[in-house]
Structure 1
Amino acid sequence: MTADSLKRRSPLLRWGVIALVAIIILALALGIGLGLGLKHSSSSTSAGSSSSDDGSNGSTGGNGLNATAPPLSNFALKDIRNDSPQVREYTLVVQEATGSPDSVFRPGMLVVNGTYPGPTLVANQNDRMIIHVINQLPNSTAIHWHGLYQNSTPFYDGTNGISQCGIPPSQSYTYNYTFGDFSGSTWYHAHYSTQYTDGVVGALIVNPSNASTDADGRPVPPTPAPTVPVPAYDQDIVVVMQDWYHTPSPIVLALFLGPDGIDGTQGDEPTPESGTMNGLGQFDGNGEYFNFSLEANMTYRFRLVNTGSLANIRFSIDDHPLLLVSADGVDVVPQWVSGVELAVAQRYDVLVRTNETSGGQWWVRGTILDDMFAYSIPDQELDQRGILSYPVPFPNTTPLDPASADPGPGANISDLDTSTLVPSLPIDAPEPTHRYPVTISFQETQDDEYLAFLNNTSWYPLDKECTMSLLQQPSFLSSLTSSDGPSVYGDSQLLLTHNGIEVVDLLLDNLDEGDHPFHMHGHRPWVMGSGAGRYQGQSFNLTNPMRRDTHLIPAYSWVALRFITDNPGMWAFHCHIAWHMSSGLLMQINNRPQVAASYGLPDVLLQHCAVDKGSEAKRSVGLNVRLGGF
Structure 2
Amino acid sequence: MVTVNGKFPGPRIVAREGDRLLIEVVNHVQNNISIHWHGIRQLRSGWADGPAYITQCPIQTGQRYVYNYTIVGQRGTLWWHAHVSWLRSTLYGPIVILPKPGASYPFPKPHKEVPIIFGEWFNADPEAIISQALQSGGGPNVSDAYTINGLPGPLYNCSAKDTYRLKLKPGKTYLLRLINAALNDELFFSIANHTLTVVEVDAIYVKPFDSETILIAPGQTSNVLLKTKPHYPNATFFMSARPYVTGLGTFDNSTVAGLLEYERPHRIHQQSITDLSADKLALFKPNLPQLNDTAFATNFSNKLRSLNSAEFPANVPQEVDRRFLFTVGLGTNPCPENQTCQGPNGTMFAASVNNVSFTMPTEALLQAHYTGQSSGVYSPYFPIIPLSPFNYTGNPPNNTMVSNGTKLMVLPFNTSVELIMQDTSILGAESHPLHLHGFNFFVVGQGFGNFDPNKDAANFNLVDPVERNTVGVPSGGWVAIRFLADNPGVWFMHCHLEVHTSWGLKMAWVVLDGKLPNQKLLPPPADLPKC
Q: Evaluate the alpha carbon distance shift between residue 381 and residue 493 of structure 1 in structure 2; reply closer, same or farther with a 3 A threshold.
A: closer
Q: Evaluate the alpha carbon distance shift between residue 137 and residue 576 of structure 1 in structure 2; reply closer, same or farther with a 3 A threshold.
A: same
Residue identity in the other structure for 1:535? F
Aligned to 2:133: 256
- Matching of residue 349 in structure 1 with residue 272 in structure 2: no
Tell me the distance in 2 between the aligned counterparts of 1:481 and 1:518: 22
Residue 398 of structure 1 and its aligned partner are, at CA, apart by 1.9
Tell me the distance in 1 between the aligned counterparts of 2:430 and 2:356: 19
Tell me the distance in 1 between the aligned counterparts of 2:405 and 2:329: 15
- Matching of residue 245 in structure 1 with residue 100 in structure 2: no
324, 329, 347: which one aligns with 1:436: 324
Secondary structure, counterpart of 1:468 in structure 2: helix
Secondary structure, counterpart of 1:286 in structure 2: coil
Secondary structure, counterpart of 2:527 in structure 1: helix
Deviations 1:216-273 (A, max 9, x none): xxxxxxx8x99xx2222122100011122222112221343344624xxxxxx64322
- Matching of residue 527 in structure 1 with residue 443 in structure 2: yes
Residue 157 of structure 1 and its aligned partner are, at CA, apart by 0.3
Question: Please, what is the CA RMSD of the aligned residues?
Answer: 3.1
- Matching of residue 455 in structure 1 with residue 328 in structure 2: no
Deviations 1:371-417 (A, max 9, x none): 2574668xx6722111222235699932454xx54269xxxxx9972
Aligned to 2:306: 423
Tell me the distance in 2 between the aligned counterparts of 1:582 and 1:516: 14
360, 378, 391: which one aligns with 2:263: 391
Q: Evaluate the alpha carbon distance shift between residue 375 and residue 150 of structure 1 in structure 2; reply closer, same or farther with a 3 A threshold.
A: closer
List aligned pairs for 1:492-511, cutoff 5 A.
492-511=405-424
Q: Could you tell me whether the CA contact under 8 Å between 1:365 and 1:383 is conserved in 2?
A: no
Q: Could you tell me whether the CA contact under 8 Å between 1:480 and 1:593 is conserved in 2?
A: no
Of all paired residues, the percent bearing the same amino acid is: 27
Aligned to 2:150: 279
Structure 2, unaligned runs of 5 or more: 269-275, 289-295, 337-346, 386-402
Tell me the distance in 2 between the aligned counterparts of 1:123 and 1:437: 37
Q: Could you tell me whether the CA contact under 8 Å between 1:139 and 1:169 is conserved in 2?
A: yes
Tell me the distance in 1 between the aligned counterparts of 2:244 and 2:201: 23
Residue identity in the other structure for 2:472? L
Secondary structure, counterpart of 1:316 in structure 2: strand
Q: Could you tell me whether the CA contact under 8 Å between 1:144 and 1:191 is conserved in 2?
A: yes
Secondary structure, counterpart of 1:469 in structure 2: helix
Q: Could you tell me whether the CA contact under 8 Å between 1:361 and 1:388 is conserved in 2?
A: no
List aligned pairs for 1:121-520, cutoff 5 A.
121-197=13-89, 199-210=90-101, 229-259=106-136, 261-262=138-139, 270-282=141-153, 283-287=156-160, 288-359=162-233, 361-369=235-243, 371-372=245-246, 374=248, 382-391=254-263, 397-399=279-281, 401=283, 405-406=285-286, 417-425=300-308, 426-430=313-317, 431-446=319-334, 447=336, 448-463=347-362, 465-476=363-374, 492-512=405-425, 513-520=429-436
TM-score by length of 1: 0.69
Q: Could you tell me whether the CA contact under 8 Å between 2:485 and 2:511 is conserved in 1?
A: yes
Aligned to 2:470: 550
Deviations 1:563-615 (A, max 9, x none): 1010111111110011111111111121115778752212221xx32xx3xxx
Deviations 1:97-127 (A, max 9, x none): xxxxxxxxxxxx2211111100111111021
Q: Evaluate the alpha carbon distance shift between residue 432 and residue 376 of structure 1 in structure 2; reply closer, same or farther with a 3 A threshold.
A: closer
Q: Evaluate the alpha carbon distance shift between residue 375 and residue 594 of structure 1 in structure 2; reply closer, same or farther with a 3 A threshold.
A: closer
Residue 428 of structure 1 and its aligned partner are, at CA, apart by 4.5
Tell me the distance in 1 between the aligned counterparts of 2:64 and 2:40: 21
TM-score by length of 2: 0.81
Residue identity in the other structure for 2:449? G
Range moving further from structure 2, 494-503 or 285-294: 285-294
Aligned length: 468
Residue identity in the other structure for 2:53? G
Tell me the distance in 1 between the aligned counterparts of 2:225 and 2:189: 13
Residue identity in the other structure for 1:342? I
Tell me the distance in 2 between the aligned counterparts of 1:481 and 1:510: 24
Aligned to 1:11: none
Tell me the distance in 1 between the aligned counterparts of 2:349 and 2:377: 31
Q: Could you tell me whether the CA contact under 8 Å between 2:45 and 2:521 is conserved in 1?
A: no
Tell me the distance in 1 between the aligned counterparts of 2:204 and 2:256: 27
Residue identity in the other structure for 1:275? Y
Q: Evaluate the alpha carbon distance shift between residue 481 and residue 372 of structure 1 in structure 2; reply closer, same or farther with a 3 A threshold.
A: closer
Q: Evaluate the alpha carbon distance shift between residue 478 and residue 210 of structure 1 in structure 2; reply closer, same or farther with a 3 A threshold.
A: farther
Q: Evaluate the alpha carbon distance shift between residue 301 and residue 312 of structure 1 in structure 2; reply closer, same or farther with a 3 A threshold.
A: same
Deviations 1:19-45 (A, max 9, x none): xxxxxxxxxxxxxxxxxxxxxxxxxxx
Tell me the distance in 2 between the aligned counterparts of 1:508 and 1:484: 15
Residue 339 of structure 1 and its aligned partner are, at CA, apart by 1.6
